[in-house]
Structure 1
């Protein structure tokens, strides 16, 4: 910030020095014409120069107008300069045009104004290509805008012609003054460039420090993420262990107790069957009551594992709600087609289908970075089929995570099959296909329909025998 203020002050100093230089040339030319007339050297002057000099008042007026417009544009630039390309082009072109007009009005005696304009352009323009272009154009103006060079192409009165009427000593002092002001302008420009370089280096150092600090923060964040992942895995394992222990306690306290009572009552009923039929019948009533109570306890334990959505909605509604929520939270394009008809499934089958869809969509976004997910539920023979495929990065390597292993366990418990991998149609992405031989639910009793497979029929016949 301080270097910017210093550059601004240098710019103002250059404006003042260039004003002095312009007035210096006007004064020298005016006094020179008076001296030449007093010394009766007008004819010789006109013969040498080949043209009549400008009127002093007109010259002074034009220079003050053009240079004043240039200074006004430089001072107002901070307020009117913006990121618009048209705005920047017009302002920069206006500055360079005014500097050329001032140099031309001075008959190319002095072209140091190009350094003032170049400093101002470099102050506001930070892009490399425009800077290089400005430097080339202003250096050309500085070098070419010289009366001795242009006198070969244009019949201008050279400044040395005005000095011919002065005494050699006075002429020397005039040249010294001209050189000092020109040198001061160049020195101020070099100081401006030096402060710009220092500021750029300081900015680069600041950016480097910020990048190093950012790299350090990124390393800390990566380390924190690793620790968080380890902590998450630990929590997951602890949760699994805690859930297993809870289920073990639940089975021990409910089903174990019920089965023990059933075994005891059955043994007692067998003994009393012939001796006391009424007592044996009472024992069998106790067995039925204990079994029903145990079954209710098992159902209560299973219900504790069901998703909340399945407690308040049927499977189809729960799936549609989950898909809609997932679509809104992730922004993914999820295309869902339910072609299996009415989904009347047992509770464990509902939970499995729900979890497969949930885990499949989650993996597609989390690991596959997918933007489109296709979900189809249909039937293949007597099996319910769930197919999910996406447009993500696909499967990297052969290692599977907890989610896929958990899905396999769930499907295998229902004697189903699970396939997954990179899409087989050659498209980019991952696919997952689960087939479940559903038992279904009797709509009247809301109980699972009996499995009528050959194996089941044979087992039942063996029991009856």
Structure 2
């Protein structure tokens, strides 16, 4: 894969080539002018130029100094790109480079426009992360602008609109084959600059395409890893649920099972003693009563261990607010929670159902709906029904198959004799109705 550092090396080569081109063209004015003066051909030169030419020394120093300033700006640009990715600063420096290129072009009396190719190379390299190579419209506009610049700065076109010193006129006064040789080298440098420019464009295109392929490969690997992570999460969830079922089974076996076994044995003994010894029967029933009460306590302990931890030390409203705040902090989802059930004392089973349904709904909104906002409203209707509406702004699902989570919500609501419905239009909405008759003190 082509490395970016090689692209920087090519740009540096092009920078030095343009410096040599500027130096060569500026030196031609001095060399040709000195030869014309020494051979006393000044009058013929002035007659050929149709105007008084500028001082060749002025042309030389203006061209060299302006190009050196441009080179320093380009080096500064390259240095700042290593530490900053500010697009506004980048565009400002490119604009400054373009203005300096115009100054160099004018200082050299518009005899060399290859400097604009250098600016274009700096532009595409500095904007390699801002514009994708497949953004065809942007690159068509940029290339079109470059072509226009090259056309309007061509000497043969400009000379029709303004009086310009033709370097070939200067060289025509040189003896023998020196003039044509210098013209050849001048054209050779221009052609070499254009060739290097095309080479950089080809290399840049290959670099960008390989970058895109590399990104696509990384995205594919990330997608595969994400898929495997989801499978692992689902498998871990299955293992956790299986462990929880086994734990609950052990609790029921150790507490309820043992209590019921003792009660059954006590009842059998009572049936034997009831006709023989009423007093002993009463004592036996007292023991059964104690066993039943202890069994009820054990069942309550087992149920409390299954409850969400947030409901242990807080009211239902406080527990929901605490849980929703944790979700909002972790996922950055906006949750609007409206609770109008007051200090209603629900059964623990009802509180568990409400808590789990809201928890599952938020999870579904994030995982499946990719929602950024969820509203939860807990109200009481005039027909003595507690209502809970959970609505998100996610993708929604007009035709969805109930998964494990939704099936669990239906089963939980059925336990408290409530109703639950779902609507996948305009996001996803879950509506739950809980009858007040189902609420008694525990």
2:416 paired residue among 410, 414, 417: 414
Distance 1:61 1:357, change over 3 A: same
Number of the residue aligned with 1:137: 149
SS at match of 1:345: coil
Q: CA deviation at 1:399?
A: 0.9
SS at match of 2:39: helix
Q: Is the 8 A contact 2:413 2:419 kept in 1?
A: yes
Q: CA deviation at 1:87?
A: 3.6
Which whole-Å CA distance do the structure 2 matches of 1:433 and 1:246 have between them?
A: 33
Distance 1:343 1:19, change over 3 A: same
Q: Is the 8 A contact 1:417 1:435 kept in 2?
A: yes
Structural mapping, 1:308-457, within 5 Å: 308-380=309-381, 381-422=383-424, 427-442=426-441, 448=442
Structural mapping, 1:3-402, within 5 Å: 3-36=7-40, 42=43, 45=44, 48-49=47-48, 53-54=52-53, 59-81=55-77, 83=87, 84=89, 85-103=91-109, 111=111, 113-115=112-114, 117-126=115-124, 128=139, 129-144=141-156, 150=160, 171-204=175-208, 206-211=210-215, 213-218=217-222, 220-225=224-229, 227-232=231-236, 234-236=238-240, 238-239=242-243, 241-243=245-247, 245-250=249-254, 253-272=257-276, 276-380=277-381, 381-402=383-404
Residues 356-393 of structure 1 show CA distances to partners (whole Å, capped at 9, x for unaligned) of: 22222322332222233222223344443333222222
Greater CA drift, 368-377 or 137-146: 137-146
Which whole-Å CA distance do the structure 2 matches of 1:346 and 1:60 have between them?
A: 100
RMSD: 3.3
Residues 282-320 of structure 1 show CA distances to partners (whole Å, capped at 9, x for unaligned) of: 222222222212222222222221222222223232222
Greater CA drift, 433-442 or 45-54: 45-54
Which whole-Å CA distance do the structure 2 matches of 1:157 and 1:387 have between them?
A: 83
SS at match of 1:231: helix
Q: Does 1 or 2 have the higher relative contact order (CA < 8 Å, sep 6+)?
A: 2
Higher Cα radius of gyration: 1
Q: CA deviation at 1:224?
A: 1.6
Number of the residue aligned with 2:131: none
SS at match of 2:379: strand
Distance 1:91 1:418, change over 3 A: same
Which whole-Å CA distance do the structure 2 matches of 1:430 and 1:337 have between them?
A: 15
Distance 1:354 1:13, change over 3 A: closer
Which whole-Å CA distance do the structure 2 matches of 1:431 and 1:205 have between them?
A: 47
Which whole-Å CA distance do the structure 1 matches of 2:227 and 2:180 have between them?
A: 70
Which whole-Å CA distance do the structure 2 matches of 1:369 and 1:123 have between them?
A: 42
Distance 1:441 1:135, change over 3 A: same
Gaps of 5+ in 2: 81-86, 128-138
Q: CA deviation at 1:251?
A: 5.6
SS at match of 2:94: helix
Which whole-Å CA distance do the structure 1 matches of 2:176 and 2:390 have between them?
A: 94
Q: CA deviation at 1:406?
A: 1.4
Q: Is the 8 A contact 1:262 1:290 kept in 2?
A: no
Which whole-Å CA distance do the structure 2 matches of 1:399 and 1:49 have between them?
A: 89
Q: CA deviation at 1:208?
A: 4.7
Distance 1:293 1:3, change over 3 A: closer
Which whole-Å CA distance do the structure 1 matches of 2:274 and 2:384 have between them?
A: 42
Q: CA deviation at 1:52?
A: 6.8
How high is the TM-score relative to the length of structure 1? Answer: 0.77
Q: CA deviation at 1:51?
A: 5.6
Q: Is the 8 A contact 2:252 2:302 kept in 1?
A: no
Q: Is the 8 A contact 1:334 1:374 kept in 2?
A: yes
Gaps of 5+ in 1: 105-110, 443-447, 449-465
Which whole-Å CA distance do the structure 2 matches of 1:172 and 1:371 have between them?
A: 80
Q: What is the aligned length?
A: 413
Residues 183-205 of structure 1 show CA distances to partners (whole Å, capped at 9, x for unaligned) of: 33124313422431342144135
Residues 125-183 of structure 1 show CA distances to partners (whole Å, capped at 9, x for unaligned) of: 1163445423431343234367xx54xx666787777678x6xxx64323223223213
Which whole-Å CA distance do the structure 2 matches of 1:248 and 1:196 have between them?
A: 76
Residues 405-434 of structure 1 show CA distances to partners (whole Å, capped at 9, x for unaligned) of: 1122222222222222236xxx54323223
